[in-house]
Copies of this chain bind each other. A is one copy, B any other.
Amino acid sequence: MSLANNILDAMKTVLPQGGGFLPLHEPVFPGNELAYTKECIETTFVSSVGKFVDRFEEMLADYTGAKRAVAVTNGTAALHMALMLGGVKAGDEVIIPGLTFVATANAVAYTGAIPHIVDSEETTLGIDADKLDAHLSTLAEIRDSECFNKETGRRISALVPMHVFGIPSDIDGLLAVCEKYSIPMVEDAAEAIGSFYKGKHCGRFGKVASLSFNGNKTITTGGGGAILTDDEELGALCKYLTTTAKVPHKWEYFHDMVGYNYRMPNINAALGCAQMEKLDEILLSKRKLAEKYVEAFANVEGVRFLKDPEQCSSNYWFCTIILEKGFEAERDSILEATNGAAYMTRPLWTAMHRLPMYENCPKSDMNVAESLEKRVINIPSGAGIIGV
């Protein structure tokens, strides 16, 4: 038996068969999604004003424990705004993992800053804190409580952990690096709604963080994202900047800063409210699926199912298997066999330092990221598989 066949057999013990192509992550709408959407249309409040935006922001703040959540058009806009609020300026460098969706690097580029790409760790797929420390020890210089890259002369103004597939990164290790080198943390928690690190929601560890509610995420608003912060002033500024920076007045249109039209429409927030009401059930269903996968892959040689790190609770956004070293050459045949059997599977993103627009960015050695690129496979993960 080939590894591809063994993996497919394991998946068959967990997944439905004969139901057509099973996507990697189909949303589920088990609650008030239609009712709330209908309410928007019937009251004509579909757009930038409406109660669901406020309610969705409150639900996000309550759930994550953040003092303020601001809903925006998508996770990319959220990270762009989070970086700006975090203090990133044009000409800075921002540390990001090589293993992330391209939006992380693009959001840095929108600010005019340059991504500084660093390696990941095998256990969480997030930034390797020890390796980052070693990397910075050779090139970082602290002046007036700010970190500079001695080689490029640029200020390093943020470290952006990305919680890959909802698995919390090594927050304690990364916070220690941030403190040692005077670098503020801005979390890209796009994939991490419902993920907790030592009991605290991802996105609560840095100055400001972003979430995403794209269609393939744990919960969806069609397209959407949010900024989280515990700094109420920063939260108010965030709301102001994402809604065109208009000075409140009964009729005048006066704006005093370059603002953005990043607001989430009420009809999308309506979906979000309904989804938040079901988030715990969705997470439970996804966790049950992950547990079934753990069992199914326990005895498959050459591959392991990626579990939560200790003291962490992943949302298991994308369930993930990792081929052991030596099995890299099997990856494409596994992708062929599983997709061919109507189970959608997908490899990791191409690492950021290998994309043409970012290939000349400063970086650490990328050995682990390059190895993981050849060994990581996502498998079907939606809450609809087991049901809500």
Binding site for B on A (CB under 8 A): 26-29, 33-34, 37-38, 40-42, 44-49, 73-77, 101-103, 106, 109, 112, 214-216, 220-223, 244-246, 250-261, 263-268, 271, 335, 339, 345-350, 355-357
B347 touching A256, Cβ below 8 Å: no
Q: Which residue of the partner chain, among B77, B222, B335, B357, contacts A251 with CB atoms under 8 Å?
A: B335
* Known contacts A253-B101, A261-B76; is-contact A41 B46 (Cβ 8 Å): no
Docked Cα-Cα span, A303 to B350, in Å, equals 63
Q: Would you give 7 A-B contacts (Cβ < 8 Å), ordered by A? A: A29-B41, A47-B220, A48-B223, A74-B261, A103-B244, A256-B355, A257-B356
Q: Are A244 and B102 in contact, CB atoms less than 8 angstroms apart? A: yes
Question: Could you say how many copies of this chain the assembly holds?
Answer: 2
Cβ contact within 8 Å between A215 and B265: yes
The answer to whether A222 and B265 touch (CB under 8 A), given A29-B41, A256-B357, is yes
- Closest residue of chain B to A350 (Cβ to Cβ) is B254
Partner of A222, one of B46, B257, B261, B347: B46
Given A49-B215, A271-B46, does the pair A103, B261 have CB atoms closer than 8 Å? Answer: yes
Residues of chain B lying within 8 A (CB to CB) of residue A264: 223
Q: Is the CB of B335 within 8 A of A258?
A: no
Known interface pairs A254-B355, A265-B268, A339-B250; A106-B47 also in contact (CB < 8 Å): no
A255 to B259, CA, bound (A): 28
Kindly name the residue among A40, A73, A268 whose own CB sees the greatest number of chain B CB atoms within 10 A: A73
* Pick from B29, B106, B250, B266: contact of A260, CB under 8 Å: B106
Smallest CB separation, A373 vs chain B (Å): 10
| A268, B214: Cα distance in complex, Å | 13
Q: Given the complex of chains A and B, what is the CA–CA distance between A140 and B57 in angstroms?
A: 49
For the complex of A and B, list the 3 residue pairs with the smallest distance between their C-beta atoms, beginning with the closest: A47-B215, A222-B265, A76-B261
